[in-house]
Chain A
């Protein structure tokens, strides 16, 4: 099935797409048919910057298990670093 459901979040950061690095402004997250992964459905994330056009996109298509493992890994990584180290409001001189 196509769920057509999409979560959209604003992001601050960068991604590397087909034509090089660009500033990422949003991510869309949805369960739907993948383009490349050989499953009927996957959890898809598009890191995008619509102001730069449709090609400013880094796409991943993950199984449910992989996506949940990724969420946990992200949370563990952030928890293991000093609070605020990678924040949007981090101090410039921090090492």
Chain B
């Protein structure tokens, strides 16, 4: 079987040297390949995110999703962990970067790794994907409908995040942005402002805003799922990684 993959839970060294849980999937062959770090959405390290990790393995990449809520909620179910993390204001930015770096290093330590790393994140993970790509040396970043890169969260929101536009000039790799035209967070004017800033600082990026889609259009188990946008989005992602993560 040339298409066999392996998947399961591993322990990686995350931010601050912490041992955290992560879900790994990789092709079994020894063909040189890039790696993809998947950043889960706010609802957590759930079965749908693990499906995404396996999809990347099936497409020929080693892929890993760190459980960003490992510290607050070791062993808890993803929804309980997400509720606890939400009440705490989300994941601190510095810790996110360390956990993504831990995932990238783990992927690069595997047999067959070509040393090229992509990152992708959904919802809050979209912003975090951009953050990681501005903080680490990566090869390709995908932002799926991440809000608060340009704008500040509404007053009173427990989510303790700050806009990231000021670090756009530190973006270390090409950025693919996938957004819904009907989304409010981020709304099309926020993604347009990000695109304009990336143009200004000379950072390569490719943004697609899908009509008839809102937030979370990739989420197959939610009524937000929009097959046309999701299928086209997957095509853009695989094309983008094919170009930037090849040996």
Contact = CB atoms under 8 A, between A and B. Distances in A.
Interface string B119-132: 00001100000000
Given A33-B222, A35-B43, A46 B76 contact: no
A25 interface: no
A79 interface: no
B16 interface: no
Contact of B154 (A4, A48, A55): A4
A25 to B, nearest CB: 12
Interface in B38-93: 42-43, 72-73, 76-77, 79-84, 86-87
A7 to B, nearest CB: 10
Interface in A20-52: 28, 30, 32-33, 35, 38-40, 46, 48, 50
Nearest to A36: B79
A5 B83 contact: no
Contacts of A59: 79-80, 83
Interface stretch (B1-9, B23-31, B97-105, B155-163): B155-163
A40 B221 CA distance: 11
Contact of B87 (A3, A8, A33): A8
Given A2-B185, A5-B157, A40-B224, A28 B77 contact: no
Nearest to B183: A1
Interface residues of B, number: 32
Interface in B134-192: 147, 153-154, 156-159, 183-185
B158 A53 contact: no
B87 A28 contact: yes
Main secondary structure of the interface of B (DSSP, over half): loop
A6 interface: yes
A35 B82 CA distance: 10
A39 B214 CA distance: 13
B43 A33 contact: yes
A30 B86 CA distance: 11
Interface of A: 1-6, 8, 18, 28, 30, 32-33, 35, 38-40, 46, 48, 50, 53-55, 57, 59
